[in-house]
Amino acid sequence: MDELEVVTLIVRHRVKVGQEAAYEKWLRRTTQIASTYPGHLGVNVMRDAGQFVCVLRFAGTGELQCWLDSSARRSLIDEVRPLLADGDQTQVEAGREFWFTPSPVAGPARWKQVCITFLVILPLSLLVPPLWQPLFARLPWLGGYFTSNALITLSIVLLVVYLFMPRVTAFFATWLNPR
């Protein structure tokens, strides 16, 4: 199975006050049932004061659709609806990747995310512009204020998202998500 086919279902629930324990029980059962469906790759849950974000990954669109259309899921949603303040809010993302992968307890502290992001972006913001200068000198129309900044920014963003951030967050995983 090609990694690029991974599809993510993001489910957001705001639980009514006093219903958190019942919701947690429902959530444990639901994640166990979802894990039995073909193509299920895992689930992460983020909790924050009655707000729950569940991130379910499936091997492809067909596998996710099988879970979404299942009578088991429909029954589970009908069961939990009275516990929810805003209903069942879902979002599907193809190939969804997170710089900071959610953990079952909570994500990394924001200040740690800032430190890692700064560590990655600062060197790139110092190194990438000089790399573009020879091209800007040869093609002056690319060296204009907007065009040059757009090319430099695009280069940095692509390097951060696809090359450096996944490696740096993996390297600092223990520090980002202490157990």
* % residues pLDDT > 90 (the chain): 54
Is 60 within 8 Å of 1 (Cβ atoms)? yes
Helical ranges in 19-109 per DSSP H: 20-34, 61-69, 71-80
| Sequence-separated (6 or more) residues with CB below 8 Å from residue 34 | 40, 43, 56, 67, 73
Q: Report the chain's mean pLDDT, rounded to a whole number.
A: 86
Which of 7-16, 100-109, 169-178 has the largest mean confidence?
7-16
160-170: string of b/e by CB count within 10 Å (b at 16+)? beeebbeebbe
pTM: 0.52
The ranges assigned to domains in the chain are 3-94, 110-176
- Joined together, the tokens standing for residue 71 give 């009578």
What pLDDT is attached to residue 95?
57
What pLDDT is attached to residue 86?
86
What dotted CATH number matches 3-94? Answer: 3.30.70.100
- Joined together, the tokens standing for residue 44 give 């992460």
Please name every residue paired with 15 in a beta bridge, in sequence order, or none if there are none. 84
Q: Is 98 helix (H, G, I), strand (E, B) or coil?
A: coil
